[in-house]
């Protein structure tokens, strides 16, 4: 770690020179109220030299939920995030390029046979984490997904019973007021969603039509954006900019839900606070963390540390925290920190309709089918969902350049069809492979910390699943009346793995309580603990797991085992 | 409409600037985008001219007041040293990659056509760019950087993203542009909110143009 004063990168691309990106906002006993321009909440502050019960690294789907629940249970909590603390109403532009301010764009290197694209499609950097720019699709994993090894013959089992997960799914759905159908067509019965489903746009109607032609079920997508007012949040106005941040606060991100809850319950949030290293003592216990804020390195003492930086930053921080006692990185006696990185396949098919579609209206994925998660007559392991689509122009152009290599007049002619396009995109389960990794590169970031090298290669099963989905989605899109259907065979999105949970300390990094096997006062609470990634988008599972982890920690504390 | 592509006569997304479809941060962001400094800060004048010549082929534009100064945006990104959030192991950082690629492209052009890239005609520029895309260029000036990877990750990303981030491009494809706080109401097939671009169906160009002047 270096001591040089750091300037904050970014602003000008956005053309928005946001104060939030230069100076911490949550301080002096108050934190921004994301619902009120210029508004503040009172915030309890903690001294650095007095150990807090929990220091949490990251405030996204995992860290945000855990900070709120632990504070509500009466623990003292400080949650750190490297990103800014936004008030969407005054800070968010309605523009793809400007909103790149939300992404984690610090230096990273990618390689392998199928190098991952990072940044806009999988890594957020803000109080609220990636949920500030996620697409809000809120799904439960199929029960068998938690026992992939035993029930389905691949990957690894989760050390968690699916019924327990489904209990916490219901709690997470209620906390976020998920809008969804009254009865969901797949899996064991579940309660009706708290809020009613959204209307379908033409892109979603296309999915429905094709599904019915092929005789498979479909439904309105359960989404974490409101279909009716809730407190200070209005219902969704169908702007379609969800993946670059919701400027109306209809989206129930962590920033507008669990973070205010956490602060109200007495947690402190430190924004623009990059954690560089977890400190351990001679016994090998964590004693606190070094973080960078206001141009200087600082130290916060803590009785317990929780890492919730997502599947790249979590292993990077653990590896960067190596010490004499933990030579290969913290919590790494299994050698598995940074291994079994998983992404989800995000390939798509696209086609043209005669009628005007105008797919940019509404959240991007209003209709879904989980058919291939629940149909077991497949020639590959795992499953996938597919959903309707509505990319904005810069992203849409990148599909033509990335998947088809188009430029010149060919590109412009394709782009001219924007308002007539439809698409189907999968989120598919890629296999956990030990060779897919996050390691440290011999290169430093703006804080003087070793950057992550992300190595990824698809396996034969991944390829078989991709081929299956492209074939099926292509037939479905044609059945819906689309012309000139073509494939985008290369996209990936969500991340998981790299600090997997398990029943055995030799084959996992954390136990069923998400507690490190090696360092008993260190926990991991984010997508990195997934042993398998399942065939659905991950955030609801991360949130449910965080709710469960909070209850587990409370139980450990009551038994005096913390 | 000889090519069958949709047209949106007289549609200009900037007409919505002062409506409820644009909030203040959006106005700030787009105003600054339109006011981009047109002179290079990172590339030399010579490199910048080559970059402009590349942009002209990757996104051909008609001369006129609406011309998008694509090269200026690319140079601005390099000056600000912005990253996408990842870099392929085979590519140097963006600035160095562009310096090297421009030099290499000129060397290739001289070798093939006896003149630098800016001095050859459009067909020859396309030939060179196509060979870059296919990874067929081999001049030592490329060093260990693969021309096809550079083409895919920079030529097609930096240039195309800069163009489609511009209101001129949005107007051309009939995209609604910024939409906050007012979003949309009518979402079904063939449905248009009165503040969206109207497509000119055959014989109804004037009607569409009238609607487009009133978005
Ligand atoms: C464009 C996009 C669309 C998506 N759509 C969906 C969707 O529709 N449905 C779905 O389920 N999922 C979706 N996801 C994925 C989902 O957002 C993530 O899986 C989820 O947010 C991950 O939760 P997390 O807690 O593990 O990490 P994150 O939510 O990413 O939070 C991690 C936080 O930790 C901070 N951090 C990291 N390292 C440090 C450090 N060293 N010091 C301080 N702070 C640090 C980061 O700044 C970040 O804010 C989407 C993601 C993206 C990017
Ligand atoms: S479509 Fe809805 S959820 Fe998405 S950004 Fe707009 S208001 Fe927010």
Domain annotation covers residue A2? no
- List the structure tokens of A79: 């949650």
Closest Cα to atom 3 of ligand 2: A251
| pLDDT top residue among A117 and A388 | A388
State whether residue B50 is helix, strand or coil. helix
What is the distance between the alpha carbons of residues A68 and B43, in angstroms, rounded to a whole number?
49
Cα A377 to middle of ligand 1, angstroms: 33
Q: How confident is the model at residue B88 (pLDDT cuts 50, 70, 90)?
A: confident
Non-local (6+) Cβ contacts of B210 within 8 A are none
Domain annotation covers residue A5? no
Please give the angle made by the CA atoms of A424, B188 and B9, to the nearest 5 degrees.
Answer: 95
Contacts of B85 in chain A (CB under 8 A): 103-106, 108, 118-120, 123
What is the distance between the alpha carbons of residues A550 and A559, in angstroms, rounded to a whole number?
14
> How crowded is residue B77: how many other Cβ atoms within 10 Å of its Cβ?
21
The β-bridge relationship of strands A522-524 and A296-307 is parallel
Mean pLDDT across A184-205: 97
Phi, psi of A33, rounded to the nearest 5 degrees: -90, 110
What pLDDT is recorded for position A422? 98
Q: How confident is the model at residue A10 (pLDDT cuts 50, 70, 90)?
A: very low
Domain annotation covers residue A83? yes
Terminal-residue alpha carbon distance, chain A: 30
Mark yes or no for CB contact B192/A412 under 8 Å: no
Non-local (6+) Cβ contacts of A367 within 8 A are A200, A203, A204, A205, A207, A208, A218, A219, A220, A221, A387, A388
What is the distance between the alpha carbons of residues B70 and B38, in angstroms, rounded to a whole number?
9
Nearest to A546 by CA among A230, A165, A87: A165
Provide the number of structural domains found in chain A. 1
> How crowded is residue A144: how many other Cβ atoms within 10 Å of its Cβ?
17
* Substitution target from A391, A419, A443 for chain B, most B beta carbons within 10 A: A419
What pLDDT is recorded for position B89? 78
On the CB side of A381, CA atoms within 13 Å amount to: 22
Mean pLDDT across A549-557: 98
Cα A121 to middle of ligand 2, angstroms: 17
The CA distance from A283 to the nearest CA of chain B, in Å, is: 37
pLDDT tens per residue across span A282-315: 999 999 999 999 999 999 999 999 999 999 999 9
Mean pLDDT across A135-153: 96
pLDDT tens per residue across span A352-400: 999 999 999 999 999 999 999 999 999 999 999 999 999 999 999 999 9
Per the listing, tokens 């379908």 go with A200
Q: Give residue A183's domain range.
A: 23-558
The residues spanned by each domain of chain B are 1-21+176-215, 36-175
Which atom of ligand 1 approaches the CA of A541 most closely?
11
pLDDT tens per residue across span A60-105: 999 999 999 999 999 999 999 999 999 999 999 999 999 887 888 8
Q: What percent of chain B has pLDDT over 90?
A: 88
Domain annotation covers residue A467? yes
Nearest to A198 by CA among A161, A237, A231, A234: A237
Question: Which region, left, alpha or beta, applies to residue A458 given φ > 0 means left and ψ of -120 to 50 means alpha?
Answer: beta
Task: Name the DSSP class of B154.
Answer: I
Q: How confident is the model at residue A2 (pLDDT cuts 50, 70, 90)?
A: very low
What pLDDT is recorded for position B204? 92
> How crowded is residue A55: how many other Cβ atoms within 10 Å of its Cβ?
28
Nearest to A371 by CA among A359, A381, A383, A380: A383
Domain annotation covers residue A28? yes
Q: Residues near ligand 1 with C-beta < 6 Å?
A: A 57-63, 80-83, 121-122, 124-126, 129-131, 133-137, 243, 274-275, 308-310, 313, 317, 494, 526-527, 537-540, 542
pLDDT tens per residue across span B95-113: 999 999 999 999 999 999 9
Domain annotation covers residue A3? no
- List the structure tokens of A59: 């405030």
What ipTM is given for this predicted complex?
Answer: 0.97
Mean pLDDT across A343-354: 97
What pLDDT is recorded for position B54? 98
Cα A240 to middle of ligand 2, angstroms: 6
Q: What percent of chain A has pLDDT over 70?
A: 97
The CA distance from B106 to the nearest CA of chain A, in Å, is: 20
pLDDT tens per residue across span A34-53: 999 999 999 999 999 999 99
Residue A420 has pLDDT above 50, yes or no: yes
- List the structure tokens of B125: 């520029």
Residue B1 has pLDDT above 60, yes or no: no
- For A407, the closest of B76, B156, B191 (CB atoms) is B156
C-alpha A408: how far from chain center: 35
Q: Which CATH number fits the domain that encloses residue A175?
A: 3.50.50.60
- List the structure tokens of A247: 């400027």
What is the distance between the alpha carbons of residues A502 and A146, in angstroms, rounded to a whole number?
11
What is the distance between the alpha carbons of residues A350 and A357, in angstroms, rounded to a whole number?
13
């Amino acid at each position: 770690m270096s001591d040089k004063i750091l300037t904050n990168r970014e602003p000008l691309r956005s053309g928005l020179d946001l104060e939030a990106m230069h100076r911490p906002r949550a301080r002096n006993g108050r934190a921004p109220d994301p619902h009120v321009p210029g508004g503040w909440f009172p915030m309890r502050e903690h001294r650095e030299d007095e150990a807090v019960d929990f220091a949490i690294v990251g405030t996204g789907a995992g860290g945000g939920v855990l900070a709120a629940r632990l504070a509500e249970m009466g623990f003292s909590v400080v949650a750190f995030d490297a990103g800014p603390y936004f008030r969407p109403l005054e800070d968010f532009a309605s523009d793809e390029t400007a909103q790149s301010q939300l992404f984690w764009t610090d230096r990273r290197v990618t390689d392998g046979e199928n190098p991952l694209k990072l940044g806009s499609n999988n890594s957020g950097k803000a109080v609220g984490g990636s949920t500030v720019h996620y697409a809000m699709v809120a799904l439960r994993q199929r029960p068998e997904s938690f026992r992939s090894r035993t029930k389905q013959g691949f990957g690894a089992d989760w050390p968690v019973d699916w019924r327990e997960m489904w209990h916490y799914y219901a709690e997470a759905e209620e906390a976020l007021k998920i809008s969804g159908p009254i009865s969901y067509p797949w899996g064991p019965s579940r309660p009706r969603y708290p809020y009613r489903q959204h209307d379908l746009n033409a892109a979603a109607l296309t999915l429905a039509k094709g599904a019915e032609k092929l005789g498979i079920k479909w439904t309105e997508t359960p989404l974490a954006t409101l279909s009716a007012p809730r407190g200070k949040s209005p219902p969704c106005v169908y702007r379609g900019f969800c993946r670059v941040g919701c400027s109306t606060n209809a989206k129930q991100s962590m920033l507008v839900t669990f973070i205010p809850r956490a602060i109200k319950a007495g947690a402190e949030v430190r924004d623009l606070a990059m954690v560089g290293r977890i400190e351990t003592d001679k016994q090998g216990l964590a004693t606190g963390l070094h973080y960078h804020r206001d141009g200087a390195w600082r130290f916060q003492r803590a009785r317990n540390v929780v890492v919730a930086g997502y599947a790249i930053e979590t292993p990077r921080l653990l590896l960067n925290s190596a010490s004499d006692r933990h030579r290969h990185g913290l919590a790494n006696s299994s050698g598995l920190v940074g291994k079994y990185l998983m992404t989800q396949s995000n390939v798509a098919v696209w086609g043209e309709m005669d009628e005007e579609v105008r797919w940019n209206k509404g959240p991007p994925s209003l209709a879904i089918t989980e058919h291939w998660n629940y149909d077991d007559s497949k020639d590959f392991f795992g499953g996938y969902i597919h959903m309707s689509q509505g990319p904005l122009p810069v992203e849409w152009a990148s599909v033509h350049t990335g998947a088809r290599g188009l430029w010149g007049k060919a590109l412009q002619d394709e782009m001219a069809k924007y308002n007539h396009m439809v698409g189907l995109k999968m989120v598919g389960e890629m296999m956990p492979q030990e060779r897919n990794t996050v390691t440290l590169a011999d290169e430093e970031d703006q804080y003087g910390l070793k950057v992550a090298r992300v190595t990824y290669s698809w396996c034969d099963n991944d390829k078989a699943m991709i081929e299956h989905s492209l074939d099926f989605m292509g037939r479905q899109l044609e059945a819906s009346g689309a012309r000139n259907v073509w494939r985008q065979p290369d996209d990936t999105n969500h991340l998981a793995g790299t600090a997997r949970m398990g029943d055995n300390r030799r084959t996992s990094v954390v136990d069923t309580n998400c507690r490190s096997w090696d360092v008993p006062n260190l926990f991991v609470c984010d997508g990195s603990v997934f042993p398998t990634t399942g065939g659905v988008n991950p955030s609801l599972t991360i949130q449910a797991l965080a709710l469960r982890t909070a209850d587990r920690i409370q139980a450990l504390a009551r038994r005096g085992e913390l | 409409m000889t090519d069958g592509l949709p047209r949106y006569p007289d549609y200009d997304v900037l007409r919505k600037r002062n409506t409820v479809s644009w909030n203040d941060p959006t106005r700030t962001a787009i105003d600054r985008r339109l006011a981009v400094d047109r002179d290079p800060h990172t590339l030399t004048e010579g490199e910048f001219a080559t970059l402009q010549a590349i942009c002209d082929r990757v996104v051909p534009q008609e001369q006129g007041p609406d011309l998008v100064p694509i090269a200026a945006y690319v140079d601005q990104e390099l000056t600000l040293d912005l990253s996408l959030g990842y870099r392929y192991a085979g590519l140097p950082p963006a600035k160095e990659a562009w310096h090297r690629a421009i030099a290499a492209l000129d060397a290739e052009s001289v070798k093939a056509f006896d003149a630098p890239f800016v001095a050859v005609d459009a067909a020859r520029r396309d030939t060179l760019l196509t060979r870059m895309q296919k990874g067929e260029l081999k001049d030592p000036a490329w060093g260990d950087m693969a021309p096809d990877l550079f083409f895919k990750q920079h030529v097609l990303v930096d240039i195309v993203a800069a163009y489609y981030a511009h209101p001129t491009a949005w107007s051309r494809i009939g995209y609604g542009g910024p939409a906050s706080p007012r979003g949309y109401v009518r979402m079904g097939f063939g449905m248009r909110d009165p503040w969206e671009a109207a497509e000119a169906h055959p014989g109804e160009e004037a009607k569409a143009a009238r609607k487009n002047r009133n978005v």
